[in-house]
Amino acid sequence: MRTLYHLWLSPACRKVRLVLAEKHLAFTLEVEPVWQRRRAFLALNPAGEVPVLIEPDERVLADATAIAEYLDEVAPEPNLLGATPEARAETRRLVAWFDRKFDAEVTANLVGEKIVKRLSGVGQPDSGAIRAGQANIHTHLDYIGYLADRRLWLAGNCLTLADLTAAAHLSCVDYLGSVPWEGHPGAKEWYARIKSRPSFRSLLADSVPGMPPPPAYADLDF
Amino acid sequence: MRTLYHLWLSPACRKVRLVLAEKHLAFTLEVEPVWQRRRAFLALNPAGEVPVLIEPDERVLADATAIAEYLDEVAPEPNLLGATPEARAETRRLVAWFDRKFDAEVTANLVGEKIVKRLSGVGQPDSGAIRAGQANIHTHLDYIGYLADRRLWLAGNCLTLADLTAAAHLSCVDYLGSVPWEGHPGAKEWYARIKSRPSFRSLLADSVPGMPPPPAYADLDF
């Protein structure tokens, strides 16, 4: 059995949970409060970050991208990167878009300010950052709509790590009720499709202690 | 012939230059002042970021990780990721270490404050950030020394994308004369080895207009 060290509203951890579930690999979750910097955890990952995956053979894997690529190599069905080098380059370009650009412009401003600061006890939310995140998200939803209008999934006609990465970020923002779905029908239709996949069920059942999600979060007909 | 859109002191661009050179793939460089947000460039990469690589068949590739993985697939010699899934996971873990952790803790504080702000005209360097970068770099040089003491190269016994990524970041900081090599003999020995590779020559010849590097930057016996 695999063990995944994670945090509830971490997009990187949610991505790995989705990859494991899409590949039907069983795992248990362990919450790791990384801000405590536990020695035993730092021995697993000197970066002090989640996700960390312990494989059935006790091998330790760290970093969401490294874990996702590893799992796609050792458990190749379904293929989550693409069938050709060109398709894989497009998947990886979009993974980087969401993990770096969306993360800096949206996730850090909304989830970082509203949740991470509270959980880790490092100060008050910055209202300017929250306003920036709320403004920035529209461009990204437009881009998702643009891609989903031209392709079945974000990187092409098969579901890939690009969809799982985008959905991992958006699901965290959606947990706060902060995604303006109504103005973005293309992005909403794409998210409805990914939200109804069996791999998404465990994410929709998440409930951070003392901070329950709004009803629409787990509603497939949102 | 390939064309690489780049900026001089961008670690992401330097990484792609090193990968291309290690694989003996010829290319020309085009400087792209991304802050101007040229329409023709945004059509190539809607993220508005460098590096962007135009392949000989006119295919457009964006994002340093996507480009590096693509090149390793289509030009597999020398292998820059590792021979097994486990080796590749270790390479990718360290690539993420430098591209995310080192970047946030060191590169952004030193190169970002001293150079990028000046070139893009967005304000004055923040002396607190510069002090933080100068303090943080020691931990990373220690970690490089720790790894290089146990392995021939950072991710194992072959040169990989982990070494090229770490060296791409360090070479930008070294251009500012801001790497305290003297206290870190293990990291210095590793950097001397990578600095003397033919693939590094073009980086050592870089000279940003109006901002020449210190003499030790290009000196192999620094």
Residue-wise pLDDT tens digits, B1-20: 899 999 999 999 999 999 99
Cβ neighbours of A93 in B, within 8 Å: 61-63, 66
Share of chain A above pLDDT 70, in %: 100
Structural tokens at position A43: 């021995």
pLDDT surpasses 90 at A28? yes
Determine, yes or no, domain membership for A20: yes
Task: Decide if A209 is inside a domain.
Answer: no
Whether residues A58 and A90 fall in one domain: no
Q: How far apart are CA A99 and CA A168, in angstroms?
A: 10
Q: For position B115, which CATH number holds?
A: 1.20.1050.10
Residue A98 counted as domain residue = yes
pLDDT of residue A120: 75
- C-alpha span between B125 and B115 (Å, rounded): 9
Selected residue with higher pLDDT from A123 and B101: B101
Inter-axis angle of helices B64-74 and B11-22, to 10 degrees? Answer: 10
**Tokens 């939803």, located at residue:** A141
Please tell me the predicted confidence (pLDDT) of residue A104. Answer: 97
CA dist list (Å): B176 to A57, B9, B124, B171, B207: 45, 10, 17, 9, 11
CB-based contact A89:A96 (threshold 8 Å)? no
**What is the predicted ipTM?**
0.96
User: What's this model's pTM, rounded to 2 decimal places?
Assistant: 0.97
- Assigned domain for A147 exists: yes
- pLDDT of B210 reads 86
Q: Which residues pair with B6 in a beta bridge?
A: B31
Q: Are residues B54 and B163 in the same domain?
A: no
- Is A91 contained in some domain? yes
Query: Within this chain, do residues B133 and B34 fall inside the same structural domain, yes or no?
Result: no
- Assess whether A174 and A97 both reside in one domain: yes
Residues B33 and B107 grouped into a single domain = no
CB contact under 8 A, A97 and B73: no
* A41 and A121 co-located in one domain: no
Q: What is the pLDDT of residues A46-77, one digit of tens each?
A: 999 999 999 999 999 999 999 999 999 999 99
Percent of chain B exceeding pLDDT 70 equals 100
Which DSSP state fits B214? P
Q: Does B47 share its domain with B124?
A: no
Domain boundary among A74, A98, A121: A74
- A70 reaches B (C-beta below 8 A): yes
Q: Is the per-residue pLDDT at B119 higher than 90?
A: no
C-alpha A23 chain-centroid distance: 16
Tell whether B60 and B103 lie within a shared domain.
no
**Domain region containing B6:** 2-74
Which of B43, B74, B105 finishes a domain? B74
Q: What is the mean pLDDT of residues B120-144?
A: 94
- The number of folded domains in chain A is 2
B132 & B106 share domain: yes
- The answer to whether A63 faces chain B, any CB pair under 8 Å, is yes
CB B137 within 8 A of CB B120: no
Give CA–CA dist A212/A216, Å, rounded.
12
Residues B70 and B95 in one domain: no
| A46 contacts in chain B (CB < 8 Å) | 143
Distance (Å, rounded) from C-alpha A76 to C-alpha A73? Answer: 5
Compute how many other C-beta atoms are within 10 angstroms of the C-beta atom of residue A53: 29
Per-residue pLDDT tens over the stretch A71-103: 999 999 999 999 999 999 999 999 999 999 999
Q: What is the pLDDT of residue B151?
A: 96
Taking CB atoms and an 8 Å cutoff, what residues of chain B touch A85?
70, 73-74
What mean pLDDT is reported for chain A?
96
d(CA B121, CA B168): 24
Strand partners, B62: B52
Q: Which residues contact A38 (CB under 8 A, 6 or more apart)?
A: A32
Per-residue b or e along B85-94, where b marks 16 or more CB atoms closer than 10 Å to that residue's CB: bbbbbbbbbb
Mean pLDDT of B35-49: 97
Tell me if B63 and A92 make a contact (CB, 8 A cut-off).
Answer: yes
Burial of residue B25, with CB atoms counted within 10 A of its CB: 0-12 exposed, 13-18 middle, 19 or more buried? middle
Closest CA–CA distance from residue B141 to any residue of chain A (Å): 14
Please give the mean pLDDT across all residues of chain B: 96
Mean pLDDT of B208-218: 93
Per the domain annotation, does A222 fall within a domain?
A: no
Supply B176's token pair.
Answer: 């500012």
Helix B85-96 to helix A64-74 angle (10° resolution) is: 160
**Distance, CA of B112 to CA of B48 (rounded, Å):** 17
| Residue B70 to residue A47, Cβ atoms within 8 A | no
Pair (B64, B124) in one structural domain: no
Q: Does residue A211 form part of some domain?
A: no
Is residue B209 one of the residues assigned to a domain? no
Phi-psi region of A121 (alpha: psi -120 to 50; beta: other; left: phi over 0): left
The verdict on A58 touching B (C-beta cutoff 8 Å) is: no
The closest of B149, B221, B139, B101 to A34, measured between CA atoms, is: B101
What average pLDDT score do residues B104-130 get? 90
CB contact, 8 Å: A96 with chain B? yes
Please state which of the ranges A124-128, A162-166, B150-154, B185-189 shows the lowest mean pLDDT: A124-128
Q: How many C-alpha atoms does A13 have within 13 Å on its Cβ side?
A: 24
* CA–CA–CA angle B199, A62, A167 (5° rounding): 100
How would residue A116 be classed by pLDDT, with cut points 50, 70 and 90?
confident
For residues B165 and B173, what is the distance between their CA atoms, to the nearest angstrom? 13
- Rounded to whole angstroms, how far apart are CA atoms B175 and B212? 8
**Domain of B11: which CATH number?**
3.40.30.10
Residues B198 and B90 reside in one and the same domain: yes
